[in-house]
Amino acid sequence: MLALLAGKDLGKIYESGLIFKKQSLLFRDISLEIEEGKTLGLMGPSGTGKTTLGLIMAGLERPTSGHVCHRGKDIEDLKGKELIAFRRQVQMVFQDPQGSLNPRKSIERSIHEVLNLLSIPRREWQERTKDALEKVGLSEELLCRYPGQISGGQCQRVALGRVLLLRPKVMILDEPTSALDISVQAQILNLLKDLQRDMGLGYLLISHQPEVIGFMAHEKMILKDGISYSK
């Protein structure tokens, strides 16, 4: 089966220093595949480049070597409709739920903003908003509140609801529950599993918690000392 998203021989080198340039190799020859309805768990010590690899897979950062392919096509070669499809279908979700929402915008405005971006006709906004909240298990009462007035777990649900409006196929989840209480973590992980089952989503799940990876992942990968191990 063709992977939704594949990284081939990815490498990343960072340059540091203003005058005396120093190059440091973060990782090299990393290959990975994200398949429909499956979760690839990515673990490894802090600073080994997990977030960087996630950003590269999402097309938000360039690899120094290697390629990322979306449905078999190198993302560097995508244009027009294919590029838009990639941008919508591959989404990244970050650790800090409060930080991913604008504190000065109500939840309703945050959601409407995405609908506007997608050029959804205004008459459909109410229905689409309701639908998005339902998918992530939130009530409409929350719409008039601001990110500071809802809990971290609710914030992460709103962030997921917004992303789902784009009808993604792949989600890169960078420590999506690390900022949350244990009980809330479990709820969000269960929600992610339900969404995966219902929508056939492929996940790249970055976590340093073996229990989280154990619960979610169909396959596991460890990034360490610049190379990857499968487990």
Ligand X SMILES: Nc1ncnc2c1ncn2[C@@H]1O[C@H](COP(=O)(O)OP(=O)(O)OP(=O)(O)O)[C@@H](O)[C@H]1O
Where do contacts with Mg ion occur on this chain (CB under 5 A)? 51
Gap between the Cα atoms of 140 and 161, Å rounded: 13
Of 150, 145, 107, nearest to 129 (Cα)? 107
**What is the binding site for ligand X (CB under 6 A)?**
14, 16, 26, 44, 46-52, 208
Question: Which residues neighbour 142 within 8 Å (Cβ) at sequence distance 6 or greater?
Answer: 107, 133, 150, 154, 158
Of 136, 3, 163, 127, nearest to 70 (Cα)? 3
User: What is the H or E stretch that residue 24 is in?
Assistant: strand 22-34
Task: Return the number of the residue (48 or 110) whose C-beta is nearest ligand X.
Answer: 48
Residue 184 interface partner, choices Mg ion, ligand X, none, CB cut-off 5-8 Å depending on type = none
Task: Return the number of the residue (8 or 208) whose C-beta is nearest ligand X.
Answer: 208
Smallest distance, Mg ion to C-beta of residue 76, A: 24
Task: Return the number of the residue (51 or 177) whose C-beta is nearest Mg ion.
Answer: 51
Smallest distance, Mg ion to C-beta of residue 51, A: 3
Question: Which residues neighbour 172 within 8 Å (Cβ) at sequence distance 6 or greater?
Answer: 54, 57, 58, 90, 91, 92, 93, 203, 204, 206
Smallest distance, Mg ion to C-beta of residue 185, A: 17
Residue 26 interface partner, choices ligand X, Mg ion, none, CB cut-off 5-8 Å depending on type = ligand X
Smallest distance, ligand X to C-beta of residue 199, A: 26
Task: Return the number of the residue (65 or 190) whose C-beta is nearest ligand X.
Answer: 65
